[in-house]
Amino acid sequence: MQKRLLDVQSITMQFGGLKAVDSLSFFVNEGELNGLIGPNGAGKTTVFNMITGVYTPTSGQVIFDGQTSSGLKPYQISKMGMTRTFQNIRLFRDLSVLENVMIAGSKDITYSAVAPLLQTKEFLGQETQLRKRSMDLLAIFGLEKKANEQSTSLPYGEQRKLEIVRALATSPKLICLDEPAAGMNHNETHQLMETIAQIRKDFKLSVLLIEHDMKLVMGICERIFVLDHGTKIEEGAPSVIQNSKKVIEAYLGPEGIH
């Protein structure tokens, strides 16, 4: 049996009188690539915020890698091996492309606070190591030539890629991508699809993906969860989702089936 990496157990998020997510359960197996879809406002990003620790679920719990992760701070969850990208790109704007990635790689740094003051060998060695590793990661997306440019000077599509590189730099087990293809054209989306599949293989990652581009989702996801009004209405392989009445209703309304 496959190991469950992420196990979400009936989590609910209540904002005042609004139930954004209502007792949602799903799981991600180790090495799986899963999709989370749903119409606008279905609560997809809220789910991401809950599992990555930005919000604490009102009720229910999240088990990640055998440990309860709900209630922990985002940085703790990140250190456990779950990381994410953001729907509305959140790069460190004034910093260089390379610095963006190096910040995320801080987990590997073990030198003390005094080491940089004395410029010890340990400090210089680890910095060189981190720089090299960051450059290697940038090279996956062909961003290594732009390493010293300011991150916001990159075109939109490359900023999205940089977010993925930055997430990879935290050496995650599970990476949550929030609409990685938003604003990309057909070709770019296709390329991205291949890269995601590739890094998943190379880094032995599990991926959880929010995406509106159905071609992308249906093309690479193994299982898909469909969310509407904060509840899960369907779950299964792409072929199941494509033929589900409930899903078509949620997207197109009840008349859509006629």
Partner 1 sequence: MKKPLLILIGLIGLGVFLDFATDAFIQLTLIYVLINMILAMSLNLVNGFTGQFSLGHAGFMAVGAYTSAYLSTLIPVWTGPAQVLYFAILATAGGLMSAFAGFLVGLPSLRLRGDYLAIVTLGFGEIIRVILLNTPAVGGARGMYGIQGPTDWEAGPLYVSKFFWGYTHAIFWVVVCFLVIWRTIRSNQGRAFLSVREDEIAAEAMGINTTQTKVRAFVLSSFFAGIAGAIFAHYSNYLNPASFAFTRSVDCVIMVVLGGMGSLSGSLMAATIITILPELLRPLQETTGVDLRMVIYSLSLILLMILRPQGLMGSRELKVSRLFTFFSRGRNAKTTP
- Interface residues toward partner 1, by CB under 8 A: 52-54, 73-75, 78-79, 83-84, 86, 90-95, 99, 102-104, 106-107, 109, 111, 113, 115-119, 123, 127, 166-167, 169-170
Q: Which is nearer to partner 1, 109 or 139 (CB)?
A: 109
Q: Cβ atoms within 10 A of the Cβ of 111, count?
A: 15
Residue (109 or 237) nearer to partner 1, CB:
109
Q: Which phi and psi angles does 63 have, rounded to 5°?
A: -110, 125
Q: Which is nearer to partner 1, 55 or 225 (CB)?
A: 55
Q: How far is the CB of 135 from partner 1 (least distance, A)?
A: 16
From the CB of 217, what's the least distance to partner 1, in Å?
Answer: 23
Return d(Cα 216, Cα 37) in angstroms, integer: 11
> How far is C-alpha 255 from the geometric centre of its chain's CA atoms?
34
> How near is the Cβ of 149 to partner 1 at its closest, in Å?
15
Return the number of the residue (122 or 235) whose C-beta is nearest partner 1.
122
Report, in Å, the least distance between residue 190 CB and partner 1. Answer: 27
The token pair that represents 255 in the structure block: 């008349």
Q: What is the CA radius of gyration of the chain?
A: 19
* Residue (1 or 117) nearer to partner 1, CB: 117
Rounded CA separation 9/62 (Å): 6
- Residue 188's CB is within 10 A of a number of other CB atoms, namely 17
Report the DSSP beta bridge partners of residue 8: 26, 62
**Closer to partner 1 at the Cβ: 176 or 241?**
176
Task: Tell me how many helices (H) and strands (E) the chain has.
Answer: 10, 10
Distance in Å, CB of 38 to partner 1, minimum: 22
**Shortest distance in whole angstroms from residue 147 CB to partner 1:** 15
Q: In what order do the strands lie in the sheet with 67-68?
A: 18-29, 4-15, 59-64, 67-68
